Amino acid sequence: MIKPDRVVTTTCPYCGVGCNLQLHVKDEHIFKVTSPFDSPVNHGNLCVKGRFGYDYVYHPKRVTTPMVRRYLLDGRPLTIDRSQFPSSSTVNGPSSFDWVETDWDTALNIVADNLTKIYKRDGSDAMAVYACAKATNEDNYLLQKMYRAIFRTNNVDHCTRLCHAGSVVALQQATGSSAMSNTASQVIQNDVFIVTGSNTSENHPIIALQMKEAVRQHGAKMIVIDPRRIDLVDFAELWLPLKPGTNVPLFTAMAYVIVEENLVNHDFIDDRTEGYTEFLATLEDFTPEYAEGITGVPAEDIRKAARLYANANKAAIYWGMGISQLSHGTASALALINLAFLTGHIGREGTGLNPLRGQNNVQGASDMGCMPFHYPGYMRVDNDENAAKWEKTWNIESGGLSRKLGLTTTEILSHAHEGGIRALYIMGENPMMSEPNLNETRKHMEQLEFLVSQDIFINESAAFADVFLPATPFAEKDGTFSNTDRRVQRVRAAHAPRGQSRVDWQIICDLAQRIESKLGLASAYWKYSNPEEILREMGNVNSDYAGITYDRIDKVGLIYPVPDMTHPGTPTLFTESFPRGRGKFHPLEYIPVMEEADDEYPFILTTGRVLEHWHGGTMTRNSSLNEAYPEARVEMHPADAEIHGIRNGDPVKVQSRRGEVILRATVTEKTSVGVVFIPFHFVEAAANLLTNDALDPQAKIPEFKACAVQVFPAREDELANPDALLQRGRY
């Protein structure tokens, strides 16, 4: 048995659960991962990613030296044809497009020179940045600070725009907050709980364990509302297999039943809400029979679900991106919020509205202000009082910060053209895998004048970069993550950074000072001795984090709001009131998905994750987990497969109005008739070549969860050649 030199306690870099990890280190190498049994988050349990998905840190393809394109060293202008970038990362090759290894001073000076030049020439509107839901709170806070304080732009966003933006906007409109109201572990206190739009067993496995425990050990009744027969259906009291994109009529029909059968909590509505009368006036048409015709769910099952939820003493709703990733994602989340207000199932332990956040620090990156409309703490950027607080903190002249709302993630790339966005800085994101309609995304990437990638691998997006800055993964940095429970937890380095790679916040500080010098700006202060200083700077203005210090979260994290140094944290929100005062009911109407199935494209495609992989695959596909799930598959119901002459394992072509992919079929009853499912981790068969870039008008989130496709048998020789299709930046 190997004896470790040390065991380092940290937080998992994958999903929003925020499991506590123990990294066993020998000779500056992690050889095993365990978890403490006294962890309040995961109680010693880990999923396959948390336990085995760490070895990407040592993958030979990881880049640990700064790299620039040869044409930058040759002094050529940036009027290059980005569409002709080579497919490899050849170092010192003959082409001016090839990567060349360099030192940090050279790389950062090139970045500073070009960002400064574009800013001076075209102004704030030409600048944009993608922050990172994988990076720490401290990393993200400084990146948005750099772009706001130096470039005076609010064109700052990250992948929350692509996952839970609809939930965030809905919760802000209805409650004035945007996070989970309770903690995931409170599920064991539920009498009844709804899981909808979330394949929890694969996306948040440890929370799924707690849900199963609530059913088996505590007698809770679970209602699963999902187009697919996910694992949790086996534990459910009721499964409502709705058609993708029909959330609003189903949930509103449940509200109809609650009102019709007088299951309403009138005291809660009178004391804590507004807009109820206006909401009632819109319910008349949403009968269960009407909803059945749209959703495919039997009317009587809708009634059963409504009664179970409304009659419970403590009931909660847990949802995933099957709610938010729609062109009416905000309305879908509002429909759930209406149910909680009708019944009073909010503001108490074991109740609540709980969007399960997808990435390890997507909650924290949002808290840190990595969104185009908000400073840290969800302070609107177009509010003078808010802006004045940050101007004082960042040593900026009065009125210096922009009050103009910025562009969202999806808007930033669509504005990449002459007169629009000219320079883009990407920290840890991969839009060439995560954006919808990737053929269109590629065209936008090619229109950028200057692109910087700060990452650990040259992924599909970094392939378009002019400069690559090698950052460190979670195992080589200190800081904090904020999980889906709003729990702020420590991240600790297991060993020193590999090669010349540097911690994200240190890269940002070094670069910011160089840019300030070139622009002749007074310093916004970039000389931090450790990441805790960064968190404290942010917490001095954002009251939710005011009482959080590294000492206080050394053993166990704190759940914000933590308004002062003696506050114990706030696991349950809204116990007395809502941040906006009263909770607001929202009348809703049914708007179909933007692209329904028809004779030409008879299937609805929905996308998502699988247990073994993560997001765009940058981490897990460079780990041993790739051996467990090595290729993309399309799930298809047996009835559909039989009609189309497709057998399990056959190669098929899936085609939408935007693109096509070829991959193997998995014939399974896990999916519903008329619905096919493709995971979005595989560049060889990138699901987002097919998806629709139609946006929710309020949240600006794309409709990943529903688009029309056709499925054809394909020849074996048409299957994707991984070596060819893994060409960086090419499809």
* Arithmetic mean of pLDDT, 564-584: 97
Q: What is the pLDDT of residue 615?
A: 84
Least confident of 83-92, 419-428, 637-646: 83-92
Q: Over 60: is that where the pLDDT of 727 sits? A: no
Instruction: For residue 719, give its domain range.
Output: 603-725
> Does residue 42 lie in a domain region?
yes
Least confident of 142-146, 175-179, 502-506, 515-519: 175-179
Residue 442: CATH number of its domain: 3.40.50.740
> Does residue 482 lie in a domain region?
no
Structural domains of the chain, count? 4
Q: Over 70: is that where the pLDDT of 109 sits? A: yes
Which of 559, 589, 622 is where one domain is finished? 559
Residue 217: CATH number of its domain: 3.40.228.10
Residue linked to tokens 């910011």: 512
Same domain, 516 and 654: no
What does the angle CA 508 – CA 511 – CA 512 come to, to the nearest 5 degrees? 80
Q: What is the pLDDT of residue 81?
A: 67
> Where in 37-184 does DSSP place strands (E)?
67-69, 99-101, 127-130, 156-157
The better pLDDT of the pair 166, 224 is held by: 224
> Does residue 340 lie in a domain region?
yes
Same domain, 172 and 144: no
Q: Over 70: is that where the pLDDT of 688 sits? A: yes
> Does residue 597 lie in a domain region?
no
Q: Over 50: is that where the pLDDT of 731 sits? A: no
Q: Over 90: is that where the pLDDT of 101 sits? A: yes
Q: What is the pLDDT of residue 506?
A: 98
Lookup: tokens for 598? 């028809």
Which of 303, 323, 356 is where one domain is finished? 356
Q: What is the pLDDT of residue 163?
A: 81
382 contacts 405 by C-beta, under 8 angstroms: yes
Query: Which pLDDT band, with edges at 50, 70 and 90, does 646 fall under?
Result: very high
Q: Phi and psi dihedrals of 340, rounded to 5?
A: -65, -40
Share of the chain above pLDDT 90, in %: 90
Q: Over 70: is that where the pLDDT of 672 sits? A: yes
Query: Which pLDDT band, with edges at 50, 70 and 90, does 264 fall under?
Result: very high
**pLDDT tens for residues 23-58?**
999 999 999 999 999 999 999 999 999 999 999 999
* Arithmetic mean of pLDDT, 668-676: 95
Q: Over 50: is that where the pLDDT of 87 sits? A: no
Same domain, 365 and 513: yes
Query: Which pLDDT band, with edges at 50, 70 and 90, does 616 fall under?
Result: confident
Q: Over 60: is that where the pLDDT of 582 sits? A: yes
What is the H or E stretch that residue 661 is in?
Answer: strand 660-667
Question: How would you list the strands of the sheet with 487-491, edge to edge?
Answer: 479-482, 487-491, 558-559
**pLDDT tens for residues 121-156?**
999 999 999 999 999 999 999 999 999 999 999 999
> Does residue 571 lie in a domain region?
no
As a whole number of angstroms, the distance between CA 115 and CA 338 comes to: 46
Same domain, 264 and 221: yes
Same domain, 402 and 498: yes
Same domain, 395 and 412: yes
* Arithmetic mean of pLDDT, 174-187: 94
* Arithmetic mean of pLDDT, 55-63: 96
Q: H-type helices in 520-647, by residue range?
A: 531-539, 625-628, 638-643
Q: What is the pLDDT of residue 640?
A: 96
Q: What is the pLDDT of residue 161?
A: 83
Same domain, 344 and 373: no
Lookup: tokens for 615? 């997001």
Same domain, 154 and 171: no
Same domain, 471 and 620: no
As a whole number of angstroms, the distance between CA 610 and CA 14 comes to: 13
> Does residue 575 lie in a domain region?
no
Which of 505, 532, 559 is where one domain is finished? 559
CA distances 393 to 176, 373, 382, 542, Å, are 25, 19, 17, 11
Same domain, 277 and 414: no
Residue 714: CATH number of its domain: 2.40.40.20
> Does residue 77 lie in a domain region?
yes
DSSP string, 13-25: SSBTT--EEEEEE
- 3-class state of residue 156 by DSSP: strand
**pLDDT tens for residues 369-411?**
999 999 999 999 999 999 999 999 999 999 999 999 999 998 9
Could you tell me which residues come within 8 angstroms of residue 70 by beta carbon, excluding any fewer than 6 positions away? 93, 95, 96, 97, 98, 99, 100
Q: What is the pLDDT of residue 90?
A: 36
Q: Over 50: is that where the pLDDT of 307 sits? A: yes
The mean pLDDT of the chain is 93
> Does residue 138 lie in a domain region?
yes
Q: What is the pLDDT of residue 720?
A: 62
Same domain, 349 and 396: no
Residue 35: CATH number of its domain: 2.20.25.90
Same domain, 472 and 367: yes
